[in-house]
Structure 1
């Protein structure tokens, strides 16, 4: 016989279960991070991230997703290697940088942090510029020359130099020029090169610095990375850990949506984007000069990964990574799979 007491107990148990389930649902909904930490580097390649920061696009999309008012912090690093250290130590959520550092951390973290790319943020040529009039090709570089780049052996510039050396001197000699390289932030390398008084007489760099250097008649271009890769390639990407991607789906989606909106803002009005860059970075460059760069046909602001597999194949061949991705999609999260990447 079911007594009133039994019904009462069953009711209490049912209410308890319902409250527990409600609590679990509430906990799941509110478990996402309240602070998102992103980082960028120096240069025009990070314009999409500058737009995201200045227009508070992540905050906008997070609020629309029901996450409330989240805190978004931005840091500036001198190279991708330092960012990866910050990511591994748990002090950064979304690093950004060249293809080289992304591929390195993807391979290194496989089965541990499982770091993957969120998206590309541009396609840009990188120039090897020099003030040495005797250097017409990399064959002419000697032990007296010093090449500045963001991070020796690790940065995308370092990888491109190795690819150029392999193409010129043979694959076994891919590191023939490594001993000439010096780790230096682009702004510092620009000053050193143009001063004419530094040991730095060559710089493997990126926009806008490569174009600034070429304004000086004593500086000339030795090669473009597009020559080495055989066409346009991704310069910079944003990446994150699989743990963050899994545990913070709404926050991740907000960052991804913000990045896509930033691309739209830039591509719809590049003069306004140039003005924003000059203002946000407190650059001494004119808006016209920056606008000329970002409207150059060789430069594109896009989330589509381009020619990333060429970098991965080369890095695997020389032993820089121990795991070879089967396709570019292995190195990126699924949200970008609908793009025609390579």
Structure 2
């Protein structure tokens, strides 16, 4: 089971992996999380699972500045408590959402898509935070393309098969070798959070020879001797793909319209701040995440033109259609709005 680094406990209900293995429907998950319930006042606490990574920068800004609380108060919701819990991967975050331990999850867009598919639409996107370039890097001098990977290589990704990085990898594999080659590459991947994977890549005593991550981890890895780029997500997808996405259950969303709208407003305000003051955004990110990169380096990184911080989804429809072709979900979506709540339907997403 994916390692959870904080206090969340998990009741004995189906996990994400069990859903993937069995193809369980929403009914198998439990009525407390996904079923209809009696009308009630909006929640007095919003519990959010977050992850490390620069694609979640708007969420870090919102957390540090109390923007969710600000917009909730403006909407007439007084004394709302917002709890942020750090997890290591999209898989752990999805398990927490399915268990009812959290109300919203911030993870990669494809992690939302797999739950949307497996719960028959009872989990959907709330708002996005970023679509940053992701690079598959390797310390193996013999690996310079997908064709160079062998069965002895191990590719570290936060989740296996259906996370953001595995989705880009899968689409690249499909383009190069066809869908039949997917399982060969899935067998090479191991689930590991980005901080741990970066350490493993530096340690030649481990079997990790590649890591598919996102800023700022990939920039730190590329500064290491012998580490080089094998694959770039922008080239694979023809543009950015959302790797920062907030999602929730229809039950929570429908019962908490004001709180949901307040959260969306908070993320939009945070994105505006990042555009106006990148250095302050960098300082906030480091105050929240305590990562080993200087403020100057991070400010420069945030300011690069390929760093896209936006509330609108990017390239998630092609990702969902890939999931359908690969048999990971049964649905065959034609519009990204099918898997997002109405609060962002006015945005120019894809």
Does the TM-score normalized on the shorter chain lie above 0.5?
yes
CA displacement at 1:168 relative to structure 2: 1.4
Is the Cα–Cα contact under 8 Å of residues 72 and 259 in structure 2 kept in the other structure?
yes
Distance 1:341 1:279 in 2: 31
Alignment equivalent of 1:78, drawn from 70, 73, 88: 88
Q: CA deviation at 1:303?
A: 0.5
- What's the offset of the Cα at 1:178? 1.1
Determine which of 63, 81, 91 is the counterpart of 1:53.
63
TM-score under structure 2 length normalisation: 0.87
Q: Distance in 1 between matches of 2:58 and 2:272?
A: 9
Aligned-partner Cα distance in 2 for 1:86–1:286: 32
Q: CA deviation at 1:60?
A: 0.9
Q: 1:264 is matched with which residue: 263, 268, 272?
A: 272
Q: Distance in 1 between matches of 2:346 and 2:133?
A: 25
Q: Which residue of 1 aligns with 2:249?
A: 241
Q: Is 2:42 the counterpart of 1:32?
A: yes
Q: Do the aligned residues in 2 keep the contact of 1:128 with 1:204 (CA within 8 Å)?
A: yes
Partners of 2:77 and 2:179 in 1: CA distance: 51
Hey, what does 1:276 align to over in structure 2? Answer: 284
Are 2:119 and 1:109 aligned? Answer: yes
Cα separation, 2, equivalents of 1:166 and 1:89: 33
The residue number in structure 2 matching 1:296 is 304
What stretches of structure 2 of length at least 5 have no aligned partner? Answer: 1-38
Q: What are the Cα deviations for residues 225-280 of structure 1, in whole angstroms up to 9, with x where unaligned? A: 11111122211200111111211111111111111111111111011111111222
CA distance in 2, matches of 1:110, 1:176: 29
Q: CA deviation at 1:176?
A: 2.2
- Tell me if the contact between 1:81 and 1:154 (Cα under 8 Å) persists in the aligned partners: no
Report the alpha carbon displacement of residue 90 of structure 1 after superposing the two structures with TM. Answer: 1.3
Instruction: Report the equivalent of 1:10.
Output: none
Normalised TM-score (structure 1): 0.88
Distance 1:326 1:106 in 2: 14
Unaligned runs of 5+ in 1: 1-27
In structure 1, distance between residues paired with 2:291 and 2:199: 14
TM-aligned CA deviation for residue 197 of structure 1: 2.4
The corresponding residue for 1:136 is 144
> How many pairs were matched up?
313
- Say which SS state the counterpart of residue 95 (structure 1) adopts: strand
How far is 1:196 from its partner? 2.4
Aligned with 1:32: secondary structure? coil
Q: Is the contact made by 2:144 and 2:230 (CA closer than 8 Å) also made in structure 1?
A: yes
Counterpart Cα distance in 2 of 1:283 and 1:315: 33
Match status 1:62 vs 2:85: no
Q: Mean Cα displacement is larger for which, 123-132 or 150-159?
A: 150-159
* Residue aligning to 2:234: 226
**Matched-pair contact (CA < 8 Å) for 1:165–1:176:** no
Where 1:177 maps in the other structure, the secondary structure is: helix
Q: How far did residue 312 of structure 1 move? A: 0.7
1:111-130 aligned within 5 A: 114-130=122-138
Give the structure 2 partner of residue 170 of structure 1: 178
Q: Return the offset for 1:326.
A: 2.4
Is 1:208 matched with 2:216? yes
Contact 1:162 1:175 in 2 (8 A): no
Query: What value does the CA root-mean-square deviation take over the aligned residues?
Result: 1.5
Moved over 6 A (4+): none
Structure with higher Rg: it is 1
